Amino acid sequence: MLEVEKLKKSYGRETVLRDLSFSVREGDILSILGRSGSGKTTLLKILAGLKEPDDGEVLLRGRPVLHLPPQKRGMVYLYQETLLFPHLNVFENMAFGLRVRKLPEKEIRQRTEQLLDELGMAGHSGKMPEQLSGGQQQRVAFGRALIINPTLLLLDEPFGKLDSRTREEMQELFLRICREYRISVLFVTHDLKEALCMGDRIARMEQGQLKIYAQRSDFIRDTASGAKKEMDFWTGIREESKKKNKDQ
Amino acid sequence: MKPAIGKILWVLLATLFVLPAAYLLLLSFSSSWHFPMLFPDALTSKWWAWSFASRYAVIGGMGLSLAIAAGVSLISTLAAFLSSRWMALSRHRNGLLLLAYFPFVLSPVVLAAAIYIFFVRLGWNGSVAGVIFAHFLIAYPYAVILFSGYWNERLLTMDALAATLGAGSFQRYRRVLFPLSRGVLALALFQTFLISWFEYGLSSYIGMGRVPVLTVQVYRYISEANPHMAAVASLLLVFPPLLMLWVNKRFLIRLI
Amino acid sequence: MRIRYLHRKAGLALHVLLTLLPLAAGGIYALLYSVGLAGSLAPGFTLRYWDSLISRGTLWQTFAYSAYIMMVSVLLSYASALALVISGRGRLMQQSRSRIFYLPLAMPALVLAFFAFRFFSGGGWLASLAFRAGWIESPQEFPELVNDPYGVGIIFVHFLLAFAFFSIYLDRVYANERIGEQVQSARVLGAGYGQSLRRVVLPMILRKTWPAVSLYALFVFGSYEVPLLLGRSSPEMLSVRIVRMLSRFNLEDRPEGFAIVFAYMMLSVLAVILLRKSKGGLR
């Protein structure tokens, strides 16, 4: 459903994207791993229409989209920060996308309330963003994106600022909802474990190109991915503690 | 600071700051007040009554000033809000901002003198529209400089997010940018209003005396040696800013 | 696809036009006029207007007098405000009575100049007081405080305006930069009061405020209403002189007036560029 062909982007002499091509299937979640500064964010911004590529083509369901402004692409870009509108309450933040589409009031109410319920935020609809906890803010930010049925969700390290428990909760919730609505997702992270548990497929961004692994096992086997190193680390600790137990 | 010295200092400062307005108020109600009188011989309200009469167009001038200042403030705030946003997104923002400082530091009346010939060619001299445009030329850069620090990364990102959520450019201004910027917009509106409201040199030069805004009237009464009417017009000139001081004193802190 | 940004580009082009065009067009016209190439009675290219301005010393005199008024009023008001703010430890404006500092800011320069004239002139209120006290016998004996060669009246009005502004501004800087806390840590490290003032407070405040102070000084340099009412015809401040020379129909005065306009514009442009280039200056 998303096809990216030979995307190029450079800032001055620094090339960020080098003939980057890949595709995402309908309902797929693609995790993209990469170091900071590897061009992950640039890629997402180009897809969302917030930056222009130097060259290349992007097709969404077979239709070229690069000439379209962000509001006409149907892709929602979510940042690490929730960026809830501080002047709107929870309900209005969620309903934002419906309001700008000028849907009838009744439909806005119904859809927003349903989603609030589903995200476990039904009791908070009148609150202002600053009254919410980090996890709750994240839920609202999600709901605000999901409510417009985006063709593609672009997530830029969305859980990066949450504590580890809330983070796991959000990962679960997120996976459940994406499966339920069959939303296609590009999920950028620098966390290996998160990439593995969120993505149907995993890709790694390096030197302006994207390497997609057909299977998880391929990813783990690739030494450059760092997965093997990570596993060896944990295995090492396990062996060590086993050995200690034995010695005692 | 010793308490006694502190108290004396406050009294001195209060006298210094309050004296001009108090003196002008008394002058506006005095039937005559000249050397070597320490106080006016009698009080009268005739100057105020005259200023409301049609022969003395003070009230008319106040209305004209209000209309011009309101127009200038609205146009320049709106224009500067838009252009400062575009600037923040531009690669050349530093250079573009620098340009705003040039008209900002220049004496308005000298600017008026330098471009007067073009106003004459365009037939804008001596007209209200010409005065409004000339005020806009100095109020706009001021507002641009005021807004320049306002467009931070967070605000621009929120704007971009609203776009990916489906809001077009107009919707984003209406639903996100304007409501979020109420405070800074109010500040710009009031301050550009004051720039236009206080301006004398530019108004008299471009208006050629045919656009009798309040400042031009104050000067006219002073040069006609009618201090009482000049005091009335002066107090009318001070009234709106005093009102602002009462509403929010922050509105008054500006560089010119 | 670049078409999406077209309105933004057009808007910015308009910005360039609005800020640069008046200055450029006015500056070029002034230059052409001053060398005899513009104006209804232009004699053709000549440098004699510039020559006469420079040889008679008018140009220098006008600039020097404006610079003198600027330096004295800004230095005086800045120093007084600084002393006040430091002795108040940055808590001056927290007091409700501090509202009086905003009063001068609500007054246009024209009105304050009018007040100063009525108050300080030979026939004014102070002179009346002196007469009643028996110090003078006629208005002529009262010292010249307005329309005087030293610009006492002009400086008074500028001082009043700038002192109020600087007090509010410096007090805010003192609080925002947490200078009080810095002084405390300097004292803990063994600095005396004078040393903490000299090594902490003054450098911090000066470094933070000098761009705004420079801009303020430029406004005083070009001020018009105040010297118009309180100045005399020689020496004369810049804006007043320019307007007076341009409104005459004398064949020599207008081109010379435009020469001063051009020189002043160049000086302003230079000042802005210097302020930008200097460290910690304009953004």
pLDDT tens-digit map of C25-51: 999 999 999 999 988 878 889 899 999
What pLDDT is recorded for position C188? Answer: 83
CA–CA separation, A122 vs B179, rounded Å?
26
Q: Chain A, 99-118: which have a CB under 8 Å from a chain B CB?
A: 99-101
**CATH match of B57-252 with 1.10.3720.10:** yes
Cβ-defined contact of A69 to C2 (cutoff 8 Å): no
User: Lowest mean pLDDT: which of B60-74, C82-96, C253-267?
Assistant: C82-96
Chains touching C (at least 3 CB pairs under 8 A) are A, B
Q: Which residues pair with A29 in a beta bridge?
A: A185
Residue of A nearest to C1 (CA): A67
Contacts of C229 (CB under 8 A, 6+ apart): B222, C110, C113, C114, C116, C117
A76, A81, A86 member nearest B165 (Cβ): A76
- In chain B, residues with a C-beta closer than 8 Å to the C-beta of A149 are none
Which tens digits make up the pLDDT trace of B105-126?
Answer: 999 999 999 999 999 999 999 9
What pLDDT is recorded for position A160? Answer: 80
The residue to which tokens 């002179």 are assigned: C127
Burial code (b: 16+ CB inside 10 Å, e: under 16) for B113-151 equals bbbbbebeeeebbebbebbbbbbbbbbbbbbbbbbbebb
Chosen from B10, B81, B101, B238 to mutate, greatest number of chain C CBs within 10 A: B101
What pLDDT is recorded for position C1? Answer: 41
Chains touching B (at least 3 CB pairs under 8 A) are A, C
Q: Where are the domains of chain C?
A: 63-261
Cβ-defined contact of C243 to B113 (cutoff 8 Å): yes
- In chain A, residues with a C-beta closer than 8 Å to the C-beta of C2 are 52
| CATH T-level topology, domain C63-261 | MetI-like fold (1.10.3720)
Count B/C contacts: CB-CB distance under 8 Å: 228
In this prediction the ipTM stands at: 0.92
Chosen from B156, B159, B164, B174 to mutate, greatest number of chain A CBs within 10 A: B164
User: For residue C61, what pLDDT band results from cuts at 50, 70 and 90?
Assistant: very high
Residue of B nearest to A94 (CA): B165
What pLDDT is recorded for position C182? Answer: 86
Residue of A nearest to B171 (CA): A100
Residue of C nearest to A70 (CA): C4
3-state secondary structure of C192: coil
Residue C2 clears pLDDT 60, i.e. is over it: no
Cβ-defined contact of A66 to C2 (cutoff 8 Å): no
For chain A, say whether B183 makes contact (Cβ under 8 Å). Answer: no
Chains touching A (at least 3 CB pairs under 8 A) are B, C
CA distance A78 to chain B (A): 7
Cβ-defined contact of B114 to C265 (cutoff 8 Å): yes
CA distance A11 to chain B (A): 12
Its sign, for the CA torsion C39, C41, C42, C48, is negative
Tokens of B148: 């320049």
Q: Where are the domains of chain B?
A: 1-44, 57-252
CA–CA separation, A184 vs C40, rounded Å?
73
CA–CA separation, B179 vs B167, rounded Å?
15
- In chain B, residues with a C-beta closer than 8 Å to the C-beta of C228 are 201
For chain B, say whether A95 makes contact (Cβ under 8 Å). Answer: no
pTM of the model: 0.89
Percent of chain B with pLDDT over 90: 71
Residue of B nearest to C99 (CA): B249
Residue of A nearest to C2 (CA): A67
CA distance B177 to chain A (A): 10
CA–CA separation, C228 vs C231, rounded Å?
6
Count A/B contacts: CB-CB distance under 8 Å: 63
User: For residue A232, what pLDDT band results from cuts at 50, 70 and 90?
Assistant: confident
> Is C19 exposed, middle or buried, given 0-12, 13-18 or 19+ CB atoms closer than 10 A?
buried
User: For residue B255, what pLDDT band results from cuts at 50, 70 and 90?
Assistant: low
Architecture of domain A2-85+150-213: 3-Layer(aba) Sandwich (3.40)
Residue of A nearest to C4 (CA): A69
